[in-house]
Amino acid sequence: MAKINDNYLKLKAGYLFPEIARRVNVFAEANPEAKIIRLGIGDVTEPLPEACRTAMIHAVEEMGDRATFKGYGPEQGYAWLREKIASHDFQSRGCDIDASEIFISDGSKCDTGNILDIFGKDNRIAVTDPVYPVYVDTNVMAGHTGEANEKGEYGGLVYLPVTAENNFTAEIPTQKVDLIYLCFPNNPTGATATREHLQAWVNYAKANNSIIFFDAAYEAYITDPDLPHSIYEIEGARDCAIEFRSFSKNAGFTGTRCALTVVPKTLKAKAADGSDVELWKLWNRRQSTKFNGVSYIVQRGAEAIYSEAGKSQIDALVNFYLENAKIIRTQLTAAGIEVYGGVNAPYVWVKTPHGLSSWDFFDKLLQVCNVVGTPGSGFGAAGEGYFRISAFNSRENVEEAMKRIVEKFKV
Ligand code: MLT
C-alpha cells in the first residue's frame, strides 16, 4: 500500500484560517440573520486598481491574436517586470539588487514554503512566537520538526517570543541557528523593525553563516521614512538574506496571484561535502523544474503597478486600509482596550479585554457582535491573550464592527 508523508500527522488541527472559516460557517448556518463582518483573514476587499485592469484587458487581447499570443513564459518571470521591480522597489532605495535576482511567483505564502526545497534537513530553524503559521507548518510538512507539545510548539524549532515587553521584535538569539524567519511589517502583530534591529539580525546571520528569510509582504504599509522597506537596505544583507514580496496587499492581488522572491547571487550555503553552493542556482533550478511562471496577463497587470497611474492608485488603496487601521486603533483605545500595531501595518494586535483567552474572545466576538477576528494563540503560544484585527475591509464594515465591539466590550 502507498505510504503517506507522516509529517502531516504532526500538524495541529486545521490551518488557522480554514479553521476560523469552519467556525464562522457553523455560526452563520445557525444564525442566518446575523450580519457577520469578517476582519479575520488578511484578505483585501477593494477592487483592483484601474491601471492593472486596463493592462490585463490589453494582455487578454494580445493573447487573442496569433501575432502577439504567448505560450509558456520564462519560469523566472518576464524581464520587463523583473527590471521594473529591481529599479522601483530596490535600486531606488539603494539596494544592490539586479533584475536577474528577482523570481516572479504566484504568492509569497507559496514561496516561503517552497524555499525549503533547496535547504537540507539538519538546519536549526528559528521562528518568532507569535508567527505567520505557514513558516511553521511548512517545516513540519518537510519533516524538519518533532511532534508538537500541548502548547502547540514543535520539537526542534527555536521559538523567539515577541511580546509587549520587547516591542514585538525578537531578541537576537544567543544560540546558533541556521535559518531565521523574519516578517516586517509583522503579521500578526503589526510591529515594524528599525534599521538598527535589522542590522543586528544581519550581523548575527553573517557571524553564524545563517540565512534570513525576510517576508516583506506588507512593506507598502510603511509610511515612516526612517523604517527600511527591504532587508537589502541593510549592509551585508546580500550575503545572508532571501526576501519575499507580494502584490497581494498593495495592489489587491490576493485573488489575482503575483509575488516575487529575491535570491541574491552572492548568497551561499553549505553542501554535505562542506563546499559552498550558490542558492540562486538551486532556486533557479527548482523553479525551472516545478514552476511554469505566472500568467502573462497577470504579469502585465503587475507591471502596471509601476506606471505613474498605477503608483498613485496603489498608494490610495494602501492609505485606505491604513485609515481603517487607524479607526480600529482609535476606537478600541478609546474603549480602554490595549492595542498594538496598525501603524505602518494593516494588522492591529489587540490585548483581549476582560482577561479572556484568544479563542474565548473569538467566540464571544462572533456570537455577541457577529464580528470575526483571528485568535492570537492561533499564531503561537505567546499569542495567547491577544487577538488580531485586520484592516482589510470596507470603511462601512470597519466602522460598524468597531461600534459593535466598543458597545459590548468597553473596559
Ligand atoms: C493572513 O490573514 O495572515 C493572511 O491571509 C496571510 C496571507 O496572505 O496568507
pLDDT in tens, 369-399: 999 999 999 999 999 999 999 999 999 999 9
Give the confidence band of 38 by pLDDT, cuts at 50, 70, 90: very high
How does the average pLDDT of the chain come out, rounded? 96
Q: Give the pLDDT confidence score for residue 352 in this predicted structure.
A: 96
Q: Is 292 annotated as a binding residue?
A: yes
Q: Give the pLDDT confidence score for residue 203 in this predicted structure.
A: 98
User: pLDDT, tens digit, for every residue of 103-123?
Assistant: 999 999 999 999 999 999 999
CB within 8 A of 214, min separation 6: which ones? 182, 183, 184, 230, 231, 237, 241, 242, 243, 244
Query: CB–CB of 227/262 below 8 Å?
Result: no
Query: What is the C-alpha separation between 23 and 305, in angstroms, rounded?
Result: 36
Give the confidence band of 152 by pLDDT, cuts at 50, 70, 90: confident
Which residues sit opposite 375 in a β-bridge? 387
Q: Give the pLDDT confidence score for residue 384 in this predicted structure.
A: 94
Average pLDDT over residues 8-34: 89
Q: What atom of ligand 1 comes closest to residue 134's alpha carbon?
A: 9
Please report the domains of the chain, with CATH numbers, ordered by start residue.
Answer: 6-47+310-409 (3.90.1150.10), 52-308 (3.40.640.10)
User: pLDDT, tens digit, for every residue of 254-311?
Assistant: 999 999 999 999 999 999 999 999 999 999 999 999 999 999 999 999 999 999 999 9
Percent of the chain whose predicted confidence (pLDDT) is above 70: 99
pLDDT at position 14 over 80: no
Q: How far is the CA of 41 from the centre of ligand 1 (A)?
A: 6
Query: What is the C-alpha separation between 31 and 368, in angstroms, rounded?
Result: 12
Give the confidence band of 12 by pLDDT, cuts at 50, 70, 90: confident
Pick from 169, 163, 159, 176: which is nearest to 195 by CA? 169
Q: How far is the CA of 61 from the centre of ligand 1 (A)?
A: 32
Q: How far is the CA of 11 from the centre of ligand 1 (A)?
A: 18
Q: Is 72 annotated as a binding residue?
A: yes
Question: Which string of DSSP letters, residue by residue, matches 159-215?
Answer: EEE--TTTTT-PPPPSS--SEEEEESS-TTT-----HHHHHHHHHHHHHHT-EEEEE
Q: Give the pLDDT confidence score for residue 256 in this predicted structure.
A: 98
What pTM does this model have? 0.97
Q: How far is the CA of 403 from the centre of ligand 1 (A)?
A: 25
From first CA to last CA, the distance across the chain in angstroms is 58
φ/ψ region of 160 (left if φ > 0, alpha if ψ in -120 to 50, else beta) reads beta
Give the confidence band of 151 by pLDDT, cuts at 50, 70, 90: confident
Q: How far is CA 227 from CA 77, 92, 193, 395, in A?
A: 29, 15, 7, 27
pLDDT at position 13 over 70: no
Average pLDDT over residues 46-66: 98
Pick from 249, 261, 264, 256: which is nearest to 82 by CA? 261
**Ligand 1 shell residues, CB under 6 Å:** 41-43, 109, 187, 248
pLDDT at position 161 over 90: yes
Which residue puts its alpha carbon closest to atom 8 of ligand 1?
Answer: 42
Query: What is the C-alpha separation between 173 and 182, in angstroms, rounded?
Result: 13
If you ran DSSP here, which 8-state letter would residue 47 be given? P
